[in-house]
Amino acid sequence: MKYLKQFFIILLISLIGEILKATISLPIPASIYGMVILFVCLLTGVIKLEQVKDAGKFLIEIMPVMFIPAGVGLMVSWGDLKPILMQVSVITVVTVFTVMISTGLISQWIIRRNKEAK
Amino acid sequence: MEQFFSESAYSAVAVSLVSYGLGNWLKRRFKLGLFNPLLISIVCTILFLVVAGIDYETYKSGSSLLTWLLTPATVSLAIPLYEEYELLKANAKAVIIGIICGVITSLGTVLLLSKLMGLTHQQYVTLLPKSITTAIGMGVSEELGGYVTITVAVIVITGVIGNIIGEWICKVFRIHEPIAKGLAFGTATHAIGTAKAMEIGEIEGAMSSLSIAVAGIFTVALASVFANFM
């Protein structure tokens, strides 16, 4: 019963997320509404960590498997990707560099400045 | 074969899981970032379907159970975020500013390069959520009208690249603070990069995993703004 209850809570929040997505016309996926709701519920103590932890951790652990069908979809979208393969590759690699460097250096600067202030 | 495959309730899921297991085995056997289980399972499943002459729609309806679990799994990402909440609060300024800068840099780099290389709007929005976790990125691409399957592939490859060269990037650009390193990994290369950050150290891993959800949320908010720029 423990897992069933936990899974039920997570599904209920997913459902609320879907209802919000259907009623609010913003380009926000249902899962994001759900994630924010669960986070706020945990922070405020409406839901205790133990009430969702096991089922949630299991879902997160097997999550990579859930992306396989979408990845396999490349079979049909290969025709759309092929003409821009070069551009997509450049963007993919360059962005890894720019994002890591900007986040890393800026947060490091803030941390070191705080340390000096202390 | 095709007929059995489309009537069987488990074959599509089984093929996906077996190929994922193979990827996991290869990764442990060779300890190479390139052998990412997800990447390998996608390639193996495609090969299997092509060789067996099964078309994607048949496979897709069989594997819909996996996709169905994606929303509750993404909702569950709130759990690790909550567990790292104390760490987030203690470093709130560095975390929030660092991640927002990373998200804007990611969207900005995609915008600039897409303009320079003459991509269409649809191709551009496909790439916008490339740095964040697949679960959220897929949703963003779908909402903005991108090619979701290409988004998934690009996100996975981004993670694999970060997993392989992330440590080297940190070294070359003198990112030494463990907190900053973790934030850089999580913001640029989501869960696949986080696996590497966890190998480097505990603080790096925790910071990286909290960045996944935070960067995802900021990207959801800002990607729809950036979508109007091109």
The reply to whether residue A103 touches residue B17, judged by beta carbons under 8 angstroms, is no
Whether A105 maps to a domain, the answer reads no
Whether A12 maps to a domain, the answer reads yes
Q: What is the C-alpha to C-alpha distance for residues B35 and B23, in angstroms, rounded to an integer?
A: 7
What is the predicted pLDDT for the residue at B191? 86
Q: Indicate whether B7 pLDDT > 80.
A: no
Whether A24 maps to a domain, the answer reads yes
- Tokens read off for B91: 């470093």
Q: Could you give phi then psi for residue A67, rounded to 5 degrees?
A: -90, -10
ipTM for the assembly: 0.90
> To probe the interface with B, which of A68, A82, A90 has the most B CB atoms within 10 Å?
A68
CA B97 vs. chain centroid, Å, equals 22
Whether A35 maps to a domain, the answer reads yes
Residue A28 is nearest to which of B99, B114, B220, comparing CB atoms? B220
Say what percent of chain A tops pLDDT 90: 69
Q: How does residue B9 score in pLDDT terms, banded at 50, 70 and 90?
A: low
Q: Please list every residue in chain B whose beta carbon sits closer than 8 Å to the beta carbon of residue A70.
A: 67, 134, 138, 148-149, 152
Q: How does residue B1 score in pLDDT terms, banded at 50, 70 and 90?
A: low
What is the predicted pLDDT for the residue at B88? 87
Whether A72 maps to a domain, the answer reads no
The reply to whether residue A99 touches residue B74, judged by beta carbons under 8 angstroms, is no
Number of domains making up chain A: 1
How many beta-carbon pairs under 8 angstroms link A with B?
A: 315
Whether A30 maps to a domain, the answer reads yes
Query: Å from A1 to nearest chain B CA?
Result: 18
Whether A17 maps to a domain, the answer reads yes
Q: Please list every residue in chain B whose beta carbon sits closer than 8 Å to the beta carbon of residue A43.
A: 82, 85
The reply to whether residue A99 touches residue B184, judged by beta carbons under 8 angstroms, is yes
What's chain B's average pLDDT?
A: 90
Q: Please list every residue in chain B whose beta carbon sits closer than 8 Å to the beta carbon of residue A65.
A: 16-17, 20, 41, 66
Give the pLDDT confidence of B32-44 residue by residue, as tens digits. 777 888 888 989 9
Q: Please list every residue in chain B whose beta carbon sits closer than 8 Å to the beta carbon of residue A76.
A: 56, 149
The reply to whether residue A77 touches residue B42, judged by beta carbons under 8 angstroms, is no
Other residues' Cβ atoms within 10 Å of the Cβ of residue A60: 18
Domain extent for A43: 1-61
Q: Could you give phi then psi for residue B74, rounded to 5 degrees?
A: -65, -40
Residue B72 is nearest to which of A10, A65, A105, comparing CB atoms? A10
Q: Please list every residue in chain A whose beta carbon sits closer than 8 Å to the beta carbon of residue B12.
A: 69
Q: Indicate whether B6 pLDDT > 80.
A: no
Q: Please list every residue in chain A whose beta carbon sits closer than 8 Å to the beta carbon of residue B117.
A: 87, 90-91
Query: Å from A2 to nearest chain B CA?
Result: 16
Whole-prediction pTM: 0.87
Q: What is the C-alpha to C-alpha distance for residues B175 and B87, in angstroms, rounded to an integer?
A: 19
User: Tokens 């800026």 belong to which residue?
Assistant: A106
Query: What are the Cα distances from residue B187, in Å, to A75, A100, B132, B191?
Result: 29, 7, 7, 9
Whether A71 maps to a domain, the answer reads no
What is the predicted pLDDT for the residue at A100? 97
Residue B149 is nearest to which of A77, A87, A93, comparing CB atoms? A77
**A68, B76 Cβ separation under 8 angstroms:** no
User: Tokens 């979809």 belong to which residue?
Assistant: A73
Q: What is the C-alpha to C-alpha distance for residues A61 and B12, in angstroms, rounded to an integer?
A: 20
